Structure 1
């Protein structure tokens, strides 16, 4: 197969199914993938002379299926679905050039600092989903830590209350978003936690066609911090400067080992932007020229938009512009990969 030729889309891919949840027929797809590789002379990933990683961030049902907990509709109203149609087609067309696919998975339980259960007001009520909690809210007693959560986490209540103020203060000092109370989402063991069926199928097909194990990176399980970025939690130390969380250095170094890193996923304004920002920070501290190996699939990501509540599109676009100015490339999935990956 010529490295300058895009592949056709396999017959099993159905664009209309990308918005649905279903079981991937693994055995059937495995046989088809191996036959596809033989038919199109696709060589094993281990033989790649230029190594390209596709990083797909949080392409999970909870963010990508209409009606699920935090569906990222973007301004079109169907953003994540449209993004994933293009993402699947990008994987299939460039099957012979993508060396590895890495999938991050937001992973939560109920008693976490960004969920309603963690907080109560003076009357014992929990904050509603999408409420935002500021340092002023905590200092004036509008919200306080739920004592039941302290017991469940095995924490001293007063210490946890002090930590909560520290946490919100740290977000403010780092110019991060206010603490947002998100709807319960990406719940470990639930359907929402799973990778979108069509994307999972495309990744599995790639895995079998190229002999390249899909890499899964779990994030977000720490009850004491948000974890938008796949590379680093929002807050790393408590009020006593004791470590509560760590950067994912191993994954960061693995990403930088590739000749090119192609990034897609949800949401452009949150987990994608935070991951790319952390990647850029590492690059600028190491070798700013490394930014040139990063390619952002602009048409495979959307910003969080809640009609009549909040729209993060402008913040997301501003972040992407900053990434481009630092040397990263803003590209389209519909263009041949050779048009923008020059090694």
Structure 2
């Protein structure tokens, strides 16, 4: 496949880096007019005409993770990680608008009564665990440190408290046996219908602009709405089967197939140590089952993702870096959003 140098597009005047860390309404009709004019001015063709097809997979670029003072803001090492990441991400999308064929954002989607939220658990005193600071292990359940809150059984298992107890113990055992992080009790976040669930406004605007300019429908992917399992990865839940071996959720096979049809898949989002890492790990597993050489078509935007860091509580920076090194060793490419695509190793030729 031949390679052609493709100059980066300029940033549209509507983009304001200073507003990336804020929540605001996207003026859709105005941006639609501007995007069509932008496409005409810069001779941007519909994505259907791309000979080399490139997908940008964005993991959980939502207010709950990316806006300061929201529930699970990913500050990273700098303290403003997700905001800084999203400035670079928006600029990357606009600069490469003419060659990104499709964009698929994932949407972490929760309700209050889920296995990783405080209401699900109580101690002997009837108190709920402190979110972000509580990890629940099999030993915690055996010792009675934490137990399932009987009050949630009516909503989740039609009042069958014993069934919910058995599931909870099975669940934390499965996490432990698989070598995954212990069950983390998270603050209520990404609540369906809430502001935190929405995409970051600046990113939403960039995706809408891309959709109109390239006539490419944004492919939204929902994850995390099953109350009985976590879903860090968009490709599969943390635990697939219940205590009886029956499925409680399924792999996202349609998305796996969709991604692997592209010539290149670029991945960014939050958080590097959790949902991004888990998604990439699951994608790598699927690739290795099919053809290990396909790993080279995956590009990880290292400067558009940050690890979970809660000062004085947890810091997953080292774990995140280690797992990204493992991805690179398997053939995936660690790249920077500020580098021209043509400089990325193994990147497929960009043909207009």
User: 2 CA distance for matches of 1:227 and 1:33?
Assistant: 34
User: 2 CA distance for matches of 1:271 and 1:182?
Assistant: 13
Match of 1:183 among 180, 184, 187: 187
Cα displacement (A) at 1:342: 2.7
- The question of 1:168 aligning with 2:172 is answered yes
Secondary structure in structure 2 of the residue aligned to 1:152:
helix
Secondary structure in structure 2 of the residue aligned to 1:342:
coil
Match of 1:60 among 53, 62, 77: 62
Cα displacement (A) at 1:226: 0.3
Cα displacement (A) at 1:142: 1.0
Provide the TM-score with structure 2 as the length reference. Answer: 0.96
Cα displacement (A) at 1:122: 1.3
Aligned residues of 1:74 and 1:302 also touching (Cα < 8 A): yes
Cα displacement (A) at 1:212: 0.3
- The question of 1:337 aligning with 2:334 is answered no
User: 2 CA distance for matches of 1:189 and 1:74?
Assistant: 27
User: 1 CA distance for matches of 2:40 and 2:163?
Assistant: 61
User: 1 CA distance for matches of 2:198 and 2:5?
Assistant: 33
User: 1 CA distance for matches of 2:37 and 2:6?
Assistant: 21
User: 2 CA distance for matches of 1:205 and 1:195?
Assistant: 14
- The question of 1:198 aligning with 2:198 is answered no
Aligned residues of 2:52 and 2:348 also touching (Cα < 8 A): no
User: 2 CA distance for matches of 1:262 and 1:155?
Assistant: 44
User: 2 CA distance for matches of 1:300 and 1:323?
Assistant: 16
Aligned residues of 1:3 and 1:97 also touching (Cα < 8 A): no
Alignment of 1:84-233 (within 5 A): 84-130=86-132, 131-153=134-156, 154-233=158-237
Cα displacement (A) at 1:156: 1.2
Cα displacement (A) at 1:3: 5.5
Aligned residues of 1:3 and 1:96 also touching (Cα < 8 A): no
Secondary structure in structure 2 of the residue aligned to 1:215:
coil
Secondary structure in structure 2 of the residue aligned to 1:35:
helix
User: Structure 1, residues 151-204: CA drift from partner, whole Å, max 9, x if none?
Assistant: 111251111101111000000011000000000000000000000000000000
Match of 1:34 among 36, 54, 61: 36
Q: 2:266 maps to which residue?
A: 262
Q: 2:322 maps to which residue?
A: 318
* RMSD between superposed Cα atoms in Å: 0.8
Q: 1:81 maps to which residue?
A: 83
Note the residue ranges of structure 2 that are not aligned, 5 or more in a row. Answer: none
Q: 2:11 maps to which residue?
A: 9
Note the residue ranges of structure 1 that are not aligned, 5 or more in a row. Answer: none
Secondary structure in structure 1 of the residue aligned to 2:220:
strand
Aligned residues of 2:263 and 2:348 also touching (Cα < 8 A): no
Moved over 2 A (4+): none
